[in-house]
C-alpha cells in the first residue's frame, strides 16, 4: 500500500507542469549564478587586459610616465573631473601628480603622487592593484638608484629577504572561492521536494481528499511513508540536476584565469551525494510533518519558507568562525553535511565513518518525524480541519 501512495503522489506531481518548472529553478539557479559570477570575475582579473592609467599633471613627472609606458600601461590625460568619474565608476582609477613633484624628486626627497580610487567598487580593484604595483616598483628602483649614487649598497636597507611559502594546494584555494557550493546544494536538498510536500499534506487538507484517502484500509504509517518517499525522490532528482549543473558550469568557467585548479570529478560527486542524499531524507520528513499543520497551500508555503534559514546558518557560522571538522560534529544535522561537503571540495575527503554517522543521524531523525506525522493523521483536527 505504501507503493501505491508513492506512485499516486509522484504521478500527481508529474502532471503539474508548473510545480515541476518551479522545482527546477532552484537546482539550476546555483550553477547559473556560479557561471556568471566567475566568468565576470575572470574578465576583471585578466592580466592581458590593457592597464589604462589616466594621469592628471603628467607633464610634471615625465620619468614616471615613461616608466609606466615601458611596462605596458596605456597612459592617458585625465579629464578635469577625474575624481567625480572615479567615484561614479566611469574610470577605474586615476593618478594625480602635483606641480611640486619635479622639485621634490630632484632634491632627493619623497615626491608626492596620488592614486585616486574608489575602494567600494570591486570591478576596479584588479586594475588599481596593477597600477599600485607599478608605482611601488618605480619607487623601489628609484630608491636603489639614489643609494647607489651615494655609494650606499641597497642591501644595507634590506636586512630581510622575505619569501612566501604557500602550502595551500590548488584544490584548497579553489574550495575557498567555491565555498558557496555547499550552501546551494544544501538548499536544493531542502527545497527540491518542498512543493510536493506541501501539496501532499496541506494541499490534500485544503481539497478535502485526505479523509477520503484514509478511509481506505491502509495504515497511517504507510500513507506517511508513501508521501515521504515521493517527496524524497523529488529532492534527490533536484540534487542530481544541481550537481550536473555545477559540473557543466565549472567546466565552462575559466578557472585558469583566476589561478585556480578544480575539477568536479567522480570522487567529488560521490562525496557530495553521500553528504546530501541522507540529508534529503530528513528535509523531506521535516517538510511533510510541518505541512500537515497547515490548512491551506499558502499557509504551508509560509511555514516552510522559514526553512531557508537552516542551510544558511552553518555557512554563516563557519564564515565568522572557521573550525576544523571532527567526528562529534557529524552528529549535528546540516552542520555536519556542510563540513563534509567543504572538505570534499578542498580535496581532503573525510573518513567514510563520518559520512555514516551523519547519515545515521539523518535517518534516525527522519524516522522520528515520520512517526510523529503518522500520529498527527490520527488527530481529527488534522484530518477534517480545513480553511473556512
Per-residue pLDDT, 144:
85
240: Cα within 13 Å, side-chain hemisphere? 6
Per-residue pLDDT, 56:
92
Query: pLDDT confidence of 316, banded at 50, 70, 90?
Result: confident
385 pLDDT exceeds 70?
no
160 pLDDT exceeds 80?
no
Domain ranges of the chain: 2-41+170-384, 47-157
Instruction: State how far the Cα of 172 lies from the Cα of 269, in Å rounded to an integer.
Output: 17
65-69, 83-87, 155-159, 181-185: least confident range: 155-159
C-beta of residue 267 within 8 angstroms of C-beta of residue 243? no
Per-residue pLDDT, 371:
92
69-83, 90-104, 120-134: least confident range: 120-134
115 pLDDT exceeds 50?
yes
Most confident range (mean pLDDT) of 203-207, 243-247, 255-259, 321-325 is 243-247
Q: Taking residues 41-60, what's their average pLDDT?
A: 76
Segment 172-209, tens digit of pLDDT: 555 565 667 888 888 888 888 888 888 888 777 777 67
The residues, ordered by sequence, that sit 6+ positions from 113 with a Cβ below 8 Å of its Cβ are 61, 64, 95, 96, 97, 101, 135
Comparing CA positions, the residue from 180, 182, 177, 184 lying closest to residue 254 is 177
The residues, ordered by sequence, that sit 6+ positions from 351 with a Cβ below 8 Å of its Cβ are none
Which residue did the predictor score with more confidence, 73 or 218?
Answer: 73
Per-residue pLDDT, 102:
87
Instruction: State how far the Cα of 247 lies from the Cα of 351, in Å rounded to an integer.
Output: 24
User: Across all residues in the chain, what is the average pLDDT?
Assistant: 81
Residues linked to residue 77 through DSSP beta bridges, in sequence order: 55
Question: Angle at the Cα of 237 (from 228 to 368), degrees rounded to 5?
Answer: 25
Q: Taking residues 52-65, what's their average pLDDT?
A: 91
CB atoms near residue 362 (< 10 Å): 23
Instruction: State how far the Cα of 281 lies from the Cα of 250, in Å rounded to an integer.
Output: 27
Per-residue pLDDT, 12:
67
Q: Taking residues 333-351, what's their average pLDDT?
A: 86
Per-residue pLDDT, 293:
83
Instruction: State how far the Cα of 171 lies from the Cα of 261, in Å rounded to an integer.
Output: 6
The residues, ordered by sequence, that sit 6+ positions from 262 with a Cβ below 8 Å of its Cβ are 170, 171, 174, 175, 178, 250, 255, 345
Q: What percent of the chain has pLDDT over 70?
A: 79
Comparing CA positions, the residue from 177, 45, 65, 199 lying closest to residue 123 is 45
DSSP category for residue 47? T
117 pLDDT exceeds 70?
yes
Per-residue pLDDT, 245:
85
Instruction: State how far the Cα of 38 lies from the Cα of 31, in Å rounded to an integer.
Output: 11
Q: What percent of the chain has pLDDT over 90?
A: 20
Instruction: State how far the Cα of 347 lies from the Cα of 288, in Å rounded to an integer.
Output: 35
Q: Which fold has domain 47-157?
A: D-Maltodextrin-Binding Protein; domain 2 (3.40.190)
Write the CA distances from 251 to 38, 44, 86, 169, integer angstroms: 12, 19, 35, 19
Which residue did the predictor score with more confidence, 329 or 294?
Answer: 329
Query: pLDDT confidence of 309, banded at 50, 70, 90?
Result: confident
Instruction: State how far the Cα of 315 lies from the Cα of 183, in Å rounded to an integer.
Output: 7
Residue located via cell numbers 555514516: 356
Question: Angle at the Cα of 116 (from 110 to 118), degrees rounded to 5?
Answer: 140
Residue located via cell numbers 478535502: 208
237 pLDDT exceeds 70?
yes
C-beta of residue 133 within 8 angstroms of C-beta of residue 68? no
The residues, ordered by sequence, that sit 6+ positions from 42 with a Cβ below 8 Å of its Cβ are 253, 254, 255, 257, 258
List of long-range contacts for 63-72, beta carbons under 8 Å, 24+ apart:
63/105, 64/97, 64/113, 64/138, 67/134, 67/138, 68/134, 68/138, 71/134, 71/137
Per-residue pLDDT, 388:
47
Q: What does the block give as the cell for 183? A: 550552501
Q: Taking residues 97-109, what's their average pLDDT?
A: 88
Q: Taking residues 363-384, what's their average pLDDT?
A: 84
Which residue did the predictor score with more confidence, 163 or 327?
Answer: 327
Per-residue pLDDT, 42:
62
325 pLDDT exceeds 50?
yes
357 pLDDT exceeds 80?
yes
Per-residue pLDDT, 297:
78
Amino acid at each position: 500500500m505504501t507503493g501505491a501512495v508513492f506512485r499516486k503522489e509522484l504521478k500527481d506531481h508529474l502532471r503539474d507542469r508548473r510545480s515541476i518548472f518551479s522545482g527546477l529553478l532552484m537546482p539550476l539557479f546555483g550553477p547559473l549564478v556560479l557561471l556568471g559570477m566567475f566568468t565576470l570575475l575572470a574578465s576583471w582579473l585578466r592580466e592581458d587586459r590593457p592597464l589604462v592609467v589616466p594621469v592628471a599633471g603628467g607633464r610634471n613627472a615625465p620619468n614616471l610616465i615613461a616608466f609606466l609606458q615601458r611596462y605596458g600601461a596605456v597612459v592617458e590625460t585625465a579629464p578635469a573631473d577625474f575624481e567625480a568619474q572615479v567615484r561614479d565608476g566611469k574610470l577605474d582609477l586615476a593618478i594625480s601628480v602635483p606641480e611640486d613633484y619635479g622639485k621634490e624628486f630632484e632634491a632627493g626627497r619623497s615626491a608626492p603622487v596620488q592614486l585616486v580610487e574608489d575602494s567600494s567598487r570591486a570591478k576596479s580593484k584588479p586594475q588599481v592593484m596593477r597600477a599600485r604595483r607599478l608605482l611601488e616598483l618605480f619607487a623601489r628602483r628609484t630608491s636603489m638608484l639614489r643609494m647607489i649614487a651615494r655609494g650606499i649598497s641597497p642591501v644595507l636597507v634590506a636586512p630581510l629577504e622575505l619569501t612566501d611559502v604557500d602550502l595551500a594546494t590548488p584544490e584548497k584555494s579553489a574550495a575557498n572561492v567555491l565555498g558557496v557550493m555547499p550552501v546551494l546544494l544544501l538548499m536544493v536538498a531542502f527545497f527540491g521536494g518542498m512543493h510536493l510536500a506541501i501539496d501532499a499534506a496541506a494541499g490534500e487538507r485544503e481539497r478535502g481528499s485526505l479523509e477520503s484517502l484514509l478511509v481506505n484500509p491502509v495504515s497511517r504509517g504507510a500513507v506517511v511513508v508513501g508521501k515521504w518517499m515521493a517527496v524524497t525522490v523529488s529532492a534527490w532528482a533536484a540534487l542530481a540536476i544541481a550537481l550536473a549543473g555545477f559540473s557543466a558550469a565549472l567546466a565552462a568557467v575559466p578557472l585558469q584565469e583566476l589561478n585556480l585548479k578544480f575539477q568536479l570529478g567522480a570522487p567529488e560527486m560521490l562525496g557530495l551525494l553521500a553528504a546530501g542524499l541522507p540529508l534529503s531524507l530528513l528535509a523531506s520528513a521535516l517538510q511533510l510533518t510541518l505541512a500537515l499543520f497547515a490548512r491551506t497551500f499558502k499557509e504551508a508555503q509560509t511555514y516552510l519558507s522559514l526553512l531557508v534559514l537552516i542551510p544558511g546558518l552553518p555557512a554563516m557560522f563557519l564564515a565568522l568562525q572557521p573550525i576544523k571538522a571532527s567526528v562529534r560534529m557529524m552528529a549535528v544535522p546540516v552542520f555536519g553535511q556542510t563540513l563534509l561537503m567543504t572538505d570534499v571540495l578542498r580535496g581532503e575527503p573525510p573518513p567514510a565513518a563520518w559520512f555514516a554517522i551523519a547519515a545515521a543521524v539523518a535517518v534516525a531523525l527522519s524516522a522520528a518525524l515520520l512517526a510523529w506525522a503518522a500520529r498527527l493523521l490520527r488527530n481529527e483536527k488534522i484530518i477534517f480541519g480545513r480553511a473556512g
